[in-house]
Amino acid sequence: MIRRLVPLKPADVAARLRDGRAALVDIREPDEFQPRHIAGAVSRPLSAFDADRLGLAPGREVIFMCKTGMRTGANCDRLAAAVGHDAYVLEGGLDAWAAAGLPVAAGR
């Protein structure tokens, strides 16, 4: 069965996170995540990505993200396979989130 990542606009991601029905997985490296990220995002760097260690609560939607969406798009098959069902991607990544005026956290 083909798994895929369905693109979501930043406002849609924000609503799903606010409702508690989704988990946001940031695949950027730690040196990218630490200084600037979305509050509540789980850091799972692509360089050490392990599907068995996602550690997400079952029954929640999974939304993957990176800085611009390019890295997530280039690895969509691998990421979707890790979830075992269709998952989502933050369209435009962190850059689009910030451009939409949504809050970005700094530091840990």
- Domain boundaries 5-99, CATH class: alpha beta
Per-residue pLDDT tens over the stretch 60-102: 899 999 999 999 988 888 888 888 777 899 999 999 999 999 9
According to the model, what pLDDT value does residue 108 have?
A: 60
Output the pLDDT for position 3. Answer: 64
What is the model's pTM? Answer: 0.91
Residue 76: active-site member = no
Neighbour order of strands in the sheet with 5-8: 5-8, 87-90, 61-65, 22-26, 42-43
**Catalytic pick from 5, 23, 66, 94?**
66
pLDDT of residue 37: 96
Domain extent listing, the chain = 5-99
Tell me the pLDDT tens digit for each residue of 49-63: 876 667 777 788 999
Q: Both ends of the chain: CA-CA distance in Å? A: 38
Question: So what's the pLDDT on residue 101?
Answer: 97
What average pLDDT does this structure show over 39-47? 92
d(CA 69, CA 37): 14
Average pLDDT of every residue of the chain? 89
